[in-house]
Amino acid sequence: MKKKNNIGSYITLGVVILIYAAVFIAEQTIPSTSMLFTVLKKGATYALVAVSMNLLNGFTGIFSLGQAGFMLIGAYIYGIFTIPVSMRGQVYQYFDGGLVQFTLPIIIAMILGGLAAAFFAFLIGLPVLRLKSDYLAIATLGFAEIVRAIFQWNGLGPVTNGSNMLRSFPNFNDFNITDAQGNVTVYLSTLIPFIMSGICILIIVLLINSSYGRAFKAIRDDEVAAEAMGINLAHHKRLAFCISSFFAGVSGAMLAMYQTTVQAKSFTSAMTYEILLIVVIGGIGSVTGSVLSSFLFVACSEWWLRFLDEQQMIGDFQVPLLRNGFRLVVFSVIIMIVVLFFRRGIMGDRELWNLNFTGRRKNKGDGK
């Protein structure tokens, strides 16, 4: 059994290295304005937040809908602490340049964003994690909305810039290596987000396959039995909630880099639903599924299904129905089909490293 798992791990490792190499090569050869890179950058960001949501919903059985709120916290913390001091006068033009007058390194600011999200998760977890299923979902959804309102509040303007957007902080394009004239010599603006979210997802996978991950899955399967096995429910649920929120915060910082601006009003509950959708389509309880489906989802919504929003002509025939907004109709239909006929999603609860590469059905081994 152990051997088989190792084969799976090596194949996974190989696939991941290939993907990274492909991303790097594509970035050097294909013009950087291509839609492909938009999809890859946003996909990498969404992959992380989807996996973090899966850690809660899929592996611990806590149905939380606060992801957008935690992303918002991460995005703001990142933005607030990385805007260059020289730009602050412009960005905080209504608040006299803001209160914060220093900048932190990008990585530190991202981790700080994650920690802030985890801290808020800890606080709201104290009352909220006593609730079960639907009630918990409603409470966390409410939390996300409250966070959004607070960050838009003008009273906090000197820090959050009120309802105005934060901008001018380092974004993905700043990772490109340029020569003295400002011409890009090595493109890294897609590879870096891949590496960021790759490291985070690796940590989550390690966690899921550790003793704590098994305890999380035990709680999901049967709370009463898990408690009888000596697993402290409150402690473990809080742990899962904080860790998931930490990574949601980090992905929020990545989203800020992707968007190049941050504005609280874009972190709506619709965003949480998008992430939930990715988790469901990918398969609840599968990290691989979440990653795959986030790229698929982003590619469809940003790229492949865009044509549905424009008038299309086949010869002289104008295709009916295609007009602005039709893409969303098609999307909803796809979702209904998935929910009705493919309830287990793309991967079910399987993982790339557990797939059977010999072609024979086998019983699932470690790590689910």
Partner 1 sequence: MSNINDSVLRMEHITMQFGGVVAINDLSLEVRRGEIVALIGPNGAGKTTAFNCITGVYEPTNGVVYFQGKPIALNHPQGKMIRQYAGSEADRYKMLKPIVHTPDRITHMGIARTFQNIRLFSSQTAFENVLIGTHLRRTSNVFTATFRLNAREEKRNREKAEELLEIVGLKDEMNEKATSLPYGKQRRLEIARALATDPSLLLLDEPAAGMNPQETDELGSFIVDIKNRFKLTVFMIEHHMNLVMDISDRIYVLDFGKQIAEGTPEEIQKNPVVIAAYLGVDEE
Q: Which residues bind partner 1 (CB under 8 A)?
A: 1, 203, 206-207, 210-212, 214-215, 217-218, 220-222, 224-233, 239, 243, 285, 349, 363-366, 368
Strand partners, 26: none
Nearest approach, Cβ of 335 to partner 1 (angstroms)? 25
As a whole number of angstroms, the distance between CA 185 and CA 315 comes to 43
Q: Which two tokens stand for residue 219?
A: 């709680």
Nearest approach, Cβ of 227 to partner 1 (angstroms)? 4
Q: Which two tokens stand for residue 136?
A: 């918990």
Angle, helices 269-282 vs 35-54, to 10°: value is 80
As a whole number of angstroms, the distance between CA 126 and CA 124 comes to 5
Residues 6+ apart with CB under 8 A from 233: 219, 223, 226, 227
Nearest residue (CB) to partner 1, 72 versus 242: 242
Nearest approach, Cβ of 29 to partner 1 (angstroms)? 37
Nearest residue (CB) to partner 1, 222 versus 310: 222
Nearest approach, Cβ of 201 to partner 1 (angstroms)? 13
Nearest approach, Cβ of 68 to partner 1 (angstroms)? 25
Diameter over CA atoms, the chain: 71
C-beta of residue 191 within 8 angstroms of C-beta of residue 37: no
Nearest residue (CB) to partner 1, 122 versus 212: 212
C-beta of residue 154 within 8 angstroms of C-beta of residue 163: yes
Nearest residue (CB) to partner 1, 137 versus 226: 226
Nearest residue (CB) to partner 1, 136 versus 215: 215
